[in-house]
Structure 1
Amino acid sequence: MTIAGSIFLIMLGAVLTWAVEWDIAGLDINIVGVILMLGGVALLLFGLYRVRVTREIVSPVEPDRERTTVYEERRYTDPPQI
């Protein structure tokens, strides 16, 4: 699921928790909304973690030199890098 999908789950859960006032026998709509919001937050954090890729690059010419950490941000429309 993408970041947009997780935001959709958070919004759907918020609507079910605070805006819907009808009851179904054997099902609490408020609890379902809270579960959807928590799942959406977990997926959002996981999606943000996957977007940010950390790579350590060591110069082959100067191996004694300090390692440089490069943060690379990718978008879904970028072609895959090998």
Structure 2
Amino acid sequence: MGMGWCIGLLGIGAILTFAVDWHLAGINIHLVGVILMAVGIIGIASYISIFKRRRMQPPSPAAPVVEEDHRFYR
């Protein structure tokens, strides 16, 4: 799942939980909304943790020390 799907699930779950007042026989719409929000949050957390590891770059080695030669030749 991408970040867009997770945010979409979170939004749909919030709408079902807080903004809908339907009553269906045998289905608790508010519970379905809470479950969708939980899945969206878990998806966002896993997406961020996976891509955070992929984007981390190993530290580059220290720059070599440049020593200048201060001798003057004539």
Same fold? TM cut 0.5 = yes
List alignment gaps of at least 5 residues for structure 2: 62-74
Question: How far did residue 41 of structure 1 move?
Answer: 0.1
* Structure with greater strand percent: 1
Determine which structure has more spread, i.e. the larger CA radius of gyration: 2
List alignment gaps of at least 5 residues for structure 1: 60-82
Identical positions, percent: 34
Rounded Cα–Cα distance in structure 2 between residues aligned with 1:45 and 1:3? 10
- TM-score normalised by length of structure 1: 0.65
Query: How many residue pairs align between the two structures?
Result: 60
Matched, 1:30 2:35: no
Match of 2:20, as an amino acid?
Answer: V
- TM-score normalised by length of structure 2: 0.71
The runs of 4+ residues in structure 1 deviating greater than 3 Å are 54-59
The structure showing larger relative contact order (alpha-carbon pairs under 8 Å, at least 6 residues apart) is 2
